[in-house]
Structure 1
Amino acid sequence: MLSIAMPSNVEIKAKVSDLEEFARKAAQLSQSEGTIIRQHDTFFNCSQGRLKLRDFMNGSGQLIFYERPDTDGPKLSRYSISPTSDPPSLKAVLSDALGVKGEVRKERRLFLIGQTRVHLDTVEGLGHFMELEVVMRPEQSVNEGQQVAVDLMEQLGVSEENLVTGAYMDLILKGHTEA
């Protein structure tokens, strides 16, 4: 069976204690103030990986399927994305077909540093986080991508004890079950 390689990136997620300091360092490294993006993600039940509909709250969105291990530190994420111009309609169909696992609302500030997308996220009900997404080039090894992430983590002052293992959806679900 012919399999076409999905795009991949190396990701790190961590809790951010000083929002202003992180934003200052990210702005300095990216030489920009970043772009503000509002996102409403709806996660659907699926048998493997994760399936989410990202609504940008402006009439556009993306259906995203991804697979990545739930470990802290740099990890490889494989994904596929399909744009949509009608997120509410697609959400209704997928909700009926698969059922909703949960929802995440966030305001994201995006900085581009080299081949890395740096996100400074304020997540409703969770607080402040950062995500690094090293967009892998075809010739790069996972180790090279992980090293880019670790180096950038150091430059941004992110300590290992602040690393987070799962997705925001996982954190929200854990919070709801522990509360």
Structure 2
Amino acid sequence: MIEIEVKARASHISLREKLASMGAKPEGIQKHLDTYYNSPVRDFSETDEALRIRSVDGRSVLTYKGKKLDSVSKTRPEFETEVEGDSARSILVALGFFESGIVRKRREIFSCQGMTIALDSVEGLGEFIEVEKQAESNIEEHREEIFRFLETLGIRKEDSIRTSYLEMVLEKKE
């Protein structure tokens, strides 16, 4: 499965109103603790990959994200599986993986027009919107659909950000 995702900085106050007027369905609010790991064999920051354990409400998910597939979005292969957080961490560390950073965020989730919309408040970084779809084919078509959707919210294609939250957090620390 390919995750087609576009992210941009955006004020949540105006977005909530616009989403409500479009009939977006609120799906809930989550607090994410994302712990990223790097490989003992290759540097994921150089290969454009990501490995993380996301903890939300006592549930943990291990996610691998492959290299981005285009130059205008965050579209990439993604694989996830639910894990027991402490055991998964122990396994990764025993295999030589090491923690590369932590991202904390509050995520308000909506669904609209077959897309998942996340209004993210990221600790130390500010407010963002992420719009995503999962697909196996017609990737470019779905990506352009996301960009058209964002345009209706007042967010232009040029406003999109390909930099991950982890990269932003690490850049801020330097």
- The reply to whether TM is greater than 0.5 is yes
Structure 1, 37-46 or 69-78: larger mean CA deviation: 69-78
1:1-179 mapped onto 2 (5 Å cutoff): 7-16=1-10, 18-46=11-39, 47=42, 48=47, 49-56=49-56, 58-69=57-68, 73-84=72-83, 86-96=84-94, 97-136=96-135, 138=136, 140-177=137-174
Cα distance change on mapping 1:68 and 1:35 into 2, 3 Å: farther
The residue type paired with residue 50 of structure 1 is A
Cα distance change on mapping 1:22 and 1:73 into 2, 3 Å: farther
C-alpha distance in 2 between matches for 1:108 and 1:81: 18
Deviation at 1:163, TM superposition (A): 2.0
The DSSP-based 3-state class of the residue aligned with 2:161 is coil
Deviation at 1:164, TM superposition (A): 1.4
The DSSP-based 3-state class of the residue aligned with 1:74 is coil
Deviation at 1:73, TM superposition (A): 3.2
Unaligned runs of 5+ in 1: 1-6
Deviation at 1:37, TM superposition (A): 1.0
C-alpha distance in 2 between matches for 1:71 and 1:174: 23
Report the TM-score when normalising by structure 2. 0.85
The DSSP-based 3-state class of the residue aligned with 1:125 is coil
C-alpha distance in 2 between matches for 1:34 and 1:112: 7
C-alpha distance in 1 between matches for 2:132 and 2:24: 18
Report the TM-score when normalising by structure 1. 0.83
C-alpha distance in 2 between matches for 1:78 and 1:163: 19
Unaligned runs of 5+ in 2: none
The DSSP-based 3-state class of the residue aligned with 2:108 is strand
For residues 24-56 of structure 1, give each alpha carbon's deviation from its aligned partner in whole angstroms, at most 9, with x where no partner exists. 222333432341011100000033511000000
C-alpha distance in 2 between matches for 1:61 and 1:94: 14
Cα distance change on mapping 1:31 and 1:81 into 2, 3 Å: same
1:3 corresponds to:
none
C-alpha distance in 2 between matches for 1:101 and 1:161: 29
**Does the 8 A contact of 2:69 with 2:75 survive in 1?**
no
Cα distance change on mapping 1:61 and 1:128 into 2, 3 Å: same
C-alpha distance in 2 between matches for 1:165 and 1:89: 31
The total of aligned residue pairs comes to 166
Instruction: Report sequence identity in percent.
Output: 23
Deviation at 1:131, TM superposition (A): 0.6
